[in-house]
Structure 1
Amino acid sequence: MYTKNTLIKDIEQSGIRKTGTLLIHSSMKAIGEVEGRGDTVLDAFIEYMKEGLLLFPTHSWSDKNLQDGIYDPKTEPSCVGILPNLFMKRADAIRSMHPTHSVTAIGSMAQAYVQRDSNVLRNGDVLTPCPRDGCFGGLYDEEAQLLFLGATLKTNTYIHSIEEWLNIPDRINPQSRKIKLLSEDGEASEIDLHGHYFSRGNVSKNYDKLLIPMLHMGIAKEVKIGDAVSYVVEVKPMTDWVIGLLKENPSLFDDDQPIE
């Protein structure tokens, strides 16, 4: 059974920068038996990243979310797993105001970071899943790392971001829906939300074609944390490489054919 200390030792060997910015996609089940379960996993990462910025995606895009058309960051559950739901309930955690693609942050720069999503909203009443000036775009600016903790690169929301920034066709729904946002002080505002749209099925199932080339190029590194075979990915070189690929072939992720 793993403990906080044994997990920290694994994290120390992973190449994760403890003073940097880290976003974690996670599978609690893949980690194995942990004393204290998910809270211990979070304790280990929070302690390791105490001088940096720790982020979890706390997405709420599923059919079960936002059924009343209201997004309250304090109460809306996340649809992407156990650890994000536990993380956003921590006393010092701050969740962003994006109704479907929020992130939750802990660290000295947490408030400033999640403010990126609020700033996007101030610039207009129309919102897309991963705008360049939002929290996912900020990962590039911070030269962040992504950790796929027992998760595959099919969960790589950041690639959705790149496709959105490049205006890849058939990614953003032209039809919007009204969502009411409840701020921390209880004030309400209404936005038009354009969600994802995939005419040929969900392209994220093909994002893992990036893994083998990135391992070869040193953009990604395979590590083990607990029982979880995991991957640490450098955001900036991944972005620059993928942008080049998409400019050459905008349909890159429409199929699962290997990248040559």
Structure 2
Amino acid sequence: MHTKESLVQDLKQLNINSKGTLLVHSSYKSIGKVKGGPETVLDSLSAYMKDGLLVLPTHTWDYITKDDPVFDVNESPSNVGMLTEKFRHRANVFRSEHPTHSVAALGKDAELFTEGEYRHDTPCARESVWGKLVDRDAQILLIGVDLTRNTFIHGIEEWVDTPGRMTESHEDLYSVLHTGEKVHVPSRRHSGSHASEHYWKVDGILMEEGAMRKGTFGDADVRIIDARKTADLLTELLLKKPDLFSDNEPLADEWRYYLQNKRSES
């Protein structure tokens, strides 16, 4: 059975930067039996990152829509897993106020990191928390889930304006802020043939280019992603091949050769 101490040791072996910024996507069940349950998992992450910034998604895109348009930062539950919902209720955790793609953060600069997110009219704007992951040289830890659950790649697609990935029109959504004020947040949404289900295609190339590595946390297989390297690499690919994630076929070798040639030229 896993304990807080054993899970902290797993994080050390994964060489996570404990003084940096860490975003965690997770499947609690994948970790196996844990003494103390999900709270112990959160305790281990929080303890390891006590000198850094720990971030978990607390998204509400599944149910905050034009038909149910009001997000309440204090009341609206996360729709992306047990750990995220429990984390947002913890002491000293700050939740951002974006109506569909909020995050919760604990630690260094948590309040500053999360503030003002309701001002963005897309889920993952470059100026939002998702772009800040690049600016802060963050790491992304995928616990028991693969790249298809990595919201950060949605952000990269937004930043390069991938055709068909965003709705043209805005929905009239609203956020109830920490102050209690209700603000109008006209919002575009992600769209486009379930592109995220095709993100697995770049698993190999991220490994080959040193943007991702793998390990274990408890019983779970994990991926550790370098946000800056991943953004640079996928930006390069998406600018050359905007339809990269439009089908479910493996990545063609020509794109590996392209990146290898780019690297040898630099």
Q: Is TM (by shorter chain) over 0.5?
A: yes
Aligned length: 252
Distance 1:7 1:235 in 2: 23
The amino acid of 1:105's aligned partner reads A
Residue 65 of structure 1, CA deviation: 6.8
The amino acid of 1:42's aligned partner reads L
- Asked if structure 1 preserves the Cα contact closer than 8 Å seen for 2:58 and 2:88, the reply is yes
Query: 3-state SS of the aligned residue for 2:245?
Result: helix
- Partner residue, 1:105: 105
Could you tell me which runs of 5 or more consecutive residues in structure 2 were left unpaired when the two chains were aligned.
254-266
Query: 3-state SS of the aligned residue for 1:68?
Result: coil
Residue 105 of structure 1, CA deviation: 0.2
- Asked if structure 2 preserves the Cα contact closer than 8 Å seen for 1:65 and 1:76, the reply is no
User: Are residue 254 (structure 1) and residue 246 (structure 2) matched?
Assistant: yes
CA offsets, 1:10-56, max 9 Å, x none?
11100110000000010001000101111100000000000000000
Distance 2:153 2:71 in 1: 24
Residue 184 of structure 1, CA deviation: 1.1
Distance 2:66 2:89 in 1: 18
Distance 1:221 1:19 in 2: 19
Query: 3-state SS of the aligned residue for 1:158?
Result: helix
- Partner residue, 1:148: 142
Residue 82 of structure 1, CA deviation: 0.6
CA offsets, 1:137-160, max 9 Å, x none?
110000100000111110111111
The one of 216, 238, 243 aligned to 2:208: 216
Q: Percent identity?
A: 37
The amino acid of 2:146's aligned partner reads T
Could you tell me which runs of 5 or more consecutive residues in structure 1 were left unpaired when the two chains were aligned.
none
Query: 3-state SS of the aligned residue for 2:231?
Result: helix
- Partner residue, 2:256: none
Distance 1:188 1:238 in 2: 36
- Partner residue, 2:188: 194
Distance 2:184 2:99 in 1: 11
User: Are residue 17 (structure 1) and residue 17 (structure 2) matched?
Assistant: yes
Query: What TM-score comes out, normalization by structure 1 length?
Result: 0.93
The amino acid of 1:248's aligned partner reads K
Distance 1:236 1:141 in 2: 8
Residue 222 of structure 1, CA deviation: 0.7
- Partner residue, 2:40: 40
Residue 176 of structure 1, CA deviation: 2.0
- Partner residue, 1:177: 171
- Partner residue, 1:135: 129
The amino acid of 1:206's aligned partner reads H
CA shift in 2, pair 1:116/1:64, >3 Å:
closer
Distance 2:65 2:3 in 1: 33
What is the alpha-carbon root mean square deviation over aligned residues? 1.4
User: Are residue 68 (structure 1) and residue 62 (structure 2) matched?
Assistant: no
Residue 64 of structure 1, CA deviation: 6.8
Query: What TM-score comes out, normalization by structure 2 length?
Result: 0.91
Distance 1:3 1:144 in 2: 26
- Asked if structure 1 preserves the Cα contact closer than 8 Å seen for 2:64 and 2:71, the reply is no
- Partner residue, 2:217: 225
- Asked if structure 2 preserves the Cα contact closer than 8 Å seen for 1:5 and 1:44, the reply is yes
Query: 3-state SS of the aligned residue for 1:252?
Result: coil
Distance 2:33 2:67 in 1: 34
CA shift in 2, pair 1:82/1:65, >3 Å:
farther
Residue 256 of structure 1, CA deviation: 2.4
Q: Which piece of structure 1 moves more, 206-215 or 97-106? A: 206-215
